[in-house]
Copies of this chain bind each other. A is one copy, B any other.
């Protein structure tokens, strides 16, 4: 992956799947060259897909929360993860270090909705013995952009 590939990725992260012609002009390259590079990046799985970004507040999902979950025993893991994937309000689920086992990011309508998710959906699962909820008051930065260069180098 050279600098031109990085340039392509950063343009695509910023604008989605634009036309070869437009991408080519942003990269100072011809259309066939730009198309070739992007197809290679797609084939390698470096580009996983293309998505629209929706404003969660404008569609009624104004409350964000992070929930730490403790699982009683490892045997519960498979079923737990399967159920987690079925809950649309759960955007992320990470296995983490520390006191608790999992950290999930939730996006929902409001506190009543959050209460239902914690009480019914999560604490109703086998093996979930403890949850710890952190409510998001305000979000100052939120991007899915991968940092192709850091401030360090």
Contact = CB atoms under 8 A, between A and B. Distances in A.
A13 B46 CA distance: 19
B94 A53 contact: no
A99 to B, nearest CB: 9
Nearest to A91: B143
A32 B34 CA distance: 30
How many identical subunits does the complex contain?
2
A51 B107 contact: no
A5 to B, nearest CB: 9
Given A85-B140, A85-B141, A48 B54 contact: yes
Summarize A's interface: helix, strand, loop or mixed: mixed
The CB with the most chain B CB atoms within 10 A, among A64, A88, A113, is that of: A88
Nearest to A92: B142
Given A88-B151, A90-B141, A139-B94, A52 B53 contact: no
A21 interface: no
Given A52-B12, A53-B48, A103-B134, A148 B97 contact: no
A108 B149 CA distance: 10
Contact of A142 (B13, B44, B91, B142): B91
A61 B108 contact: no
Interface of A: 1, 9, 12-17, 44-56, 58-59, 61, 64, 66, 81, 84-98, 103-104, 107-108, 113, 116, 121, 134-152
